[in-house]
Amino acid sequence: MICLLTGCSSYNVKEDINYNLLRIRTDSGTIHTSYTDKSTGTINCKDYYWMKAREIHKSEGDYSGKLLDGEYTSHYFEGNLREKGEFEKGLKVGEWKVWYQNGELHKIENFKKGLKNGSTIIYKSDTVISTPFKNGLKHGWSKKYHNDTLIAEIYYSNGIIQPEKERFFKSLFKADPEKTKEREQKRELRKQKRELKKQENDTTFFKRVKLFFKKDEKKEKNDACE
């Protein structure tokens, strides 16, 4: 059995023998796809989608039936698109799109031979999350936007978060005038303290230089009297 955004369940499948087409009715809509009679070798870390005994299945690293092959589309009962993409010998390839029931776009994913490769974009209300993938793992800067404003960035290296490269932004929240004024005053005070300290250091330096020359002058006078 397969989980294709509808939960795990079995489907009644109507086959077109001439073209290897599948027309599937589910509890939430319909699916149109096709399969191939050709077999292929498998790779453990990849998910394979296949058909057997009038049911569609998904399994990792192996299969036991006819591999899905070609364009895949699923619709809600009211007719809106639910998911669209393409299979190649049981593996997802190219761009896949998923929609909410109201017709709004939910996410865009990119696959290469069954693994996510390239950008994955998720849309939720006023929030958008864009994450790059490489060989099925998050790799690069994952960015979160709210109303088109960047509010957070997280860096991944081969699926692992790099905390030292994690950044959050506060532009989402309206600035408090009082707190802003207080921060500016503190910043100005720190600046004044740095300038005062610099002046004190300069004064101390010149005092030492002046004292040195006085001592040197006194020594010359004593030498002249001898």
Count structural domains, the chain.
2
According to the model, what pLDDT value does residue 25 have?
87
Residue written as token pair 């049911």: 55
Same domain? 27 vs 102: yes
Q: What is the pTM of this model?
A: 0.66
Last residue of a domain, one of 144, 168, 192: 168
Q: Are 126 and 149 in contact (CB under 8 A)?
A: no
If asked whether residues 125 and 198 sit together in one domain, one would say no
Q: Are residues 211 and 103 in the same domain?
A: no
For residues 94 and 64, membership in a common domain is answered with yes
Q: Indicate whether 49 and 82 sit together in one domain.
A: yes
Q: Which of 101, 134, 102 is nearest to 120 (CA)?
A: 134
Q: Which residues of the chain have pLDDT under 50?
A: 1-18, 171-174
Same-domain pairing of 121 and 61:
yes
Query: Are residue 17 and residue 104 in the same domain, yes or no?
Result: yes
Instruction: Specify whether 87 is located in the same domain as 185.
Output: no
59: left (phi over 0), alpha (psi -120 to 50) or beta: beta
**What pLDDT does residue 43 have?**
92
123, 142, 168: which is the final residue of a domain?
168
Q: Are residues 162 and 192 in the same domain?
A: no
pLDDT value at residue 177: 61
Are residues 6 and 32 located together in one domain of the fold? Answer: yes
Clarify whether residues 162 and 186 are in a common domain: no
Two structure tokens written together for 173 = 């929240």
pLDDT of the residue at 181: 67
Q: In this structure, are 143 and 188 located in the same domain?
A: no
Residue 11, pLDDT score: 43
Confirm if 26 and 12 have CB atoms less than 8 A apart: no
Among 103, 108, 148, 101, smallest CA distance to 127 is for 148
Domain that residue 197 falls in? 175-226
